[in-house]
Structure 1
Amino acid sequence: MELDESSCIAKIKKLPKTELHAHLNGSISQNTAKKLIDLKKLKSGDNSTFDLNIPKLASNDLPGCFELFSLFHELTDSPEAIYLATCDVIKEFYEDNVLYLELRTTPKASFAGHMTQKSYVEVVVKAIEDTCSTVCQKMTVKLLLSIDRKRSVTDAEETMKIAEEYTTSTTKIVGVDLSGNPVCDARHLFPVLEYVKKAGLNLTVHISEVPNTFEEVEALLKIHPDRLGHGTYLHPSKGGSEKNYDLLKQLKIPLEVCLTSNVISKTVESYESHHFPLFRDIGYPIVLCTDDKGVFDTTLSKEYYLASKYYGLMEDDLFNHSFNSINYIFATEQEKCQLQELWKQQNNKNN
């Protein structure tokens, strides 16, 4: 007898997993959002009520999703809120048996002058350290600092400098991410991204999430990022150029794939028409991720289930996918070896 969806996800939950594409604010769950609303009301003395239903709001196109992101940014408008959100997001991934997590976030400044990009990062790093030293001791959590496409070069340079400083003093921050609304042209930020690579920092970029110009995609690939996010329109059958596709296959830059995110935000029509199987069939390095688990009401276990349901991945395939994902993390070879041993131990225990 075939297992139903909830039983399959419960079984997949036992698999150790890596999450390499998770935005902090987009990963805020409905429960955490309610806590943040209560915190916001407490700080402001507001006694009004506000009902938030994330799954209902999640059924939208890409512009609608970015409106929801803006709401979460409003909720994380103080050091206390940022700390609470980070701790909760980490705990929820841990409950899904994600044992290696790379969170990404765009450092905020201002908050009425009470926050700088650096102090924002300090709060997030503190939350990571506190959570991993207490309730999530078997989990490794790293941080990527995101550069928003629509931000100025000055803002981007500040973010890059913070990342560069932290990578020499801590192991928590492991690189830089280019993200933000994909319809915004990012070419003004390319010199910053090139510096990131020259400085020896890890770089992942959101690429071809919407039908961007072939020139932008080619220029991003030529910077040689260490990972790529989404890649929805990279394949020629999805509207990508043969030239860029050939370059992609030559570089073999690992691709972070987010199934539910793409379907709900309508950058792909359906799970059946997703580009995941196209890249899997040619043996291209890919890793399943959630993108924004709160916004899209998903978990990494659910993403694995969807890959099993729509693309025929069996139990061994799912474990091998998770195990191979360790190759693509931003960590030392020693850390990768330690994680591989942990994965084997967990697999033996489950069997």
Structure 2
Amino acid sequence: MENETDAFYRELPKVELHAHLNGSVSFKTIEKLISRKPHLNIGHDMTAIGKGQRRTLDECFQVFKVIHQLVDTEEDILMVASDVIKEFAADGVKYLELRSTPREDKNTGLTKKKYVETVIKAIQQCKSEGVDIDVRFLVAIDRRNGTDVAMETVKLAEEFMLSSDGLVVGIDLSGDPTIGDGKDLLPALQRAKNCGLKLSLHLSEVPSQLEESDLLLNLPPDRIGHGTFLHPEVGGSQSLVDKVLKHNIPLELCLTSNVKGRTVPCYSKHHFKYWYELGHPIVICTDDKGVFSTDLSQEYQLAAFTFGLSREAVWQLSQRAIDCIFAPDTVKQQLRQKWIDTQPQGIK
């Protein structure tokens, strides 16, 4: 039986803005994928980081490689995306922005274009089935793949921005932060910005990226993923913080992901506190709910427990996330109404 506190967080209407599709695949969906591909000899311990376990960032990226082996056909992508969307909806998420790097596989005939089309098809199917969640998609640039592929990805996103009836809304920059240089990707990111795509960039995920972070902040991005090492207390700089504040760029913060990936020593040392106390726009997110064995309700509960947030403060945090979404103002208004309609008694 769910206790009253758990029920509050589950029923809290939520916005999820930093969810990598393949990292969000649940234990249940992984089981279905493994049964489809027994020849790969993949075990569950290879696809998730369980309770109490921690991994280096490099080991986390090895986990994603394993999941990619399981998801290599249109059929797989359709099932994975549908399951992920329904699970977020069941967790009280009312608005979701999924992100994924388009992949191709010569053995299965999967192309990057078909990859994006299939994710869009899953979003449309869930909507037609009446799943209570509004879903949008960010096409991801993997920084490891260099300049040319980044530009190709932006052109693909541009094409779908115009043809997907508002479902493709932006570009995500992600991938192993220790590989590649953000400077090489600036032309592609600038093109994306110029054509009306929103930018969510993984920034300062690891220490000693001050120069790259400074360059990318000059764009500026519409949102920042993680921003773990931006502020001076952890080796960032005040000038980086000033740029974030000047442009009022919201941060997508993923507590469990950072603790399990060892970029943050423990929950109480998470940079959530720094930005929250500044009153800066922040959005609690999961990053990879499957890989890190969490969900958005748990992340809100962890933040509240760790930093002593009242239920009213949690509600406000959730509600303010609506301001940070990449969908149009009409969608923001509809979401605000949903929050008003479900507001518990005693919360202003």
Output the TM-score relative to the length of structure 1: 0.93
Deviation of 1:55 after TM superposition, in Å, equals: 3.8
Query: Cα–Cα, structure 1 residues 37 and 135, in superposed 2: closer, same or farther, change >3 Å?
Result: farther
- Are positions 1:34 and 2:28 aligned together? no
Deviation of 1:242 after TM superposition, in Å, equals: 1.9
Secondary structure, counterpart of 1:232 in structure 2: coil
> Could you tell me how far apart the structure 2 residues matched to 1:321 and 1:87 are?
27
Aligned pairs for 1:10-29 (under 5 A) are 10-29=7-26
Query: Cα–Cα, structure 1 residues 222 and 31, in superposed 2: closer, same or farther, change >3 Å?
Result: same
- Are positions 1:190 and 2:186 aligned together? yes
Verify the 8 A CA contact 1:150 1:186 in the aligned structure 2. Answer: no
Secondary structure, counterpart of 1:192 in structure 2: helix
Q: What's the counterpart of residue 76 of structure 2?
A: 81
Deviation of 1:145 after TM superposition, in Å, equals: 0.3
Match of 1:102 among 77, 83, 97: 97
> Could you tell me how far apart the structure 1 residues matched to 2:77 and 2:183 are?
30
Secondary structure, counterpart of 1:143 in structure 2: strand
Q: Which runs of 5+ in 2 are unaligned?
A: none
Secondary structure, counterpart of 1:182 in structure 2: coil
> Could you tell me how far apart the structure 1 residues matched to 2:42 and 2:146 are?
34
Query: Cα–Cα, structure 1 residues 80 and 264, in superposed 2: closer, same or farther, change >3 Å?
Result: same
Q: What's the counterpart of residue 271 of structure 2?
A: 275
Deviation of 1:11 after TM superposition, in Å, equals: 2.1
Q: Which 10-residue stretch deviates more, 86-95 or 110-119?
A: 110-119
Deviation of 1:290 after TM superposition, in Å, equals: 0.2
Q: Which amino acid aligns with 2:253?
A: V
> Could you tell me how far apart the structure 2 residues matched to 1:29 and 1:143 are?
19
Match of 1:157 among 140, 145, 151: 151
Q: What's the counterpart of residue 128 of structure 1?
A: 123
> Could you tell me how far apart the structure 2 residues matched to 1:7 and 1:183 are?
43
> Could you tell me how far apart the structure 1 residues matched to 2:169 and 2:4 are?
35
Match of 2:111 among 112, 116, 130: 116
Verify the 8 A CA contact 1:157 1:192 in the aligned structure 2. Answer: yes
Q: What's the counterpart of residue 161 of structure 2?
A: 167
Deviation of 1:37 after TM superposition, in Å, equals: 1.1
Q: Which runs of 5+ in 1 are unaligned?
A: none
Match of 2:63 among 63, 68, 73: 68
Deviation readout 1:298-348 (Å, 9 max, x if unpaired): 000000001110111111111111111000000111110011001111225
> Could you tell me how far apart the structure 1 residues matched to 2:161 and 2:4 are?
41
Secondary structure, counterpart of 1:183 in structure 2: coil
Deviation readout 1:122-147 (Å, 9 max, x if unpaired): 011101110122151x2100000000
Q: Which amino acid aligns with 2:265?
A: E
Verify the 8 A CA contact 2:33 2:70 in the aligned structure 1. Answer: yes
Match of 2:242 among 220, 243, 246: 246
Aligned residues: 342
Secondary structure, counterpart of 2:171 in structure 1: strand
Secondary structure, counterpart of 2:12 in structure 1: coil
Output the TM-score relative to the length of structure 2: 0.94
> Could you tell me how far apart the structure 1 residues matched to 2:41 and 2:211 are?
48
The percent identity for this pair of structures is 44
Q: Which 10-residue stretch deviates more, 296-305 or 338-347?
A: 338-347
Q: Which runs of 4+ in 1 moved over 6 A?
A: none
Deviation of 1:167 after TM superposition, in Å, equals: 1.4
> Could you tell me how far apart the structure 2 residues matched to 1:86 and 1:131 are?
10
Secondary structure, counterpart of 1:290 in structure 2: coil
Deviation of 1:77 after TM superposition, in Å, equals: 0.8
